[in-house]
Copies of this chain bind each other. A is one copy, B any other.
Amino acid sequence: MQDDQLDGHDRRILKVLQRQGRITNQELAEQIGLSPAACWRRVKALEASGVIKRFAALVDPARVGQPLCALVMITLRRHSLDSTTDFEERVTRYPEVLQCYATTGNADFVLRVVIEDMAAYDRFLNEKLFTLPGISQVHSNFVLRAIKDETAIPMP
């Protein structure tokens, strides 16, 4: 749904805001070469149209007691619409599941789970993931190290 055209000003605004979400409107306006009022209206329009989904503080997981991260490949038993939507609804509610993608390839879904330690991951599997309907295979790959962890979409 790429209805609205973004011009160079919008793209530069997004480029800056993706890295400095709390920059003042004045400073942003200066950097992109627009008056504060014009810049402010563009930012509001980008928010209202959903190009900017929201603003967020990015937190270091290890520093808040969640140093363990796993990529979980999941295959469903039969691909009925019911079990799939049920799976998706429940997975969405688990706060330790930060990302969940339906993918091509061997797995039906790939999850990124951020959690306290192995004991907590064991509980996550037994009490949450394994209770989901229609699960066939679960492969847990643990993250040894994050080489890169970025949220900024590249701007053309």
Chain A positions near chain B (C-beta within 8 angstroms) = 1-2, 4, 6, 11, 14, 17-22, 49-67, 69, 71, 88, 91-92, 95-107, 109-110, 114, 116, 139-156
Contact = CB atoms under 8 A, between A and B. Distances in A.
Contacts of A92: 147-148
B55 A22 contact: yes
Given A1-B62, A21-B21, A58-B54, A99 B153 contact: no
Contacts of A60: 50-53
Contact of A143 (B67, B103, B106, B116): B103
Given A105-B139, A116-B156, A154-B114, A59 B14 contact: yes
A19 B63 CA distance: 18
A58 B151 contact: yes
A154 B57 CA distance: 13
Contacts of A141: 103-107, 110
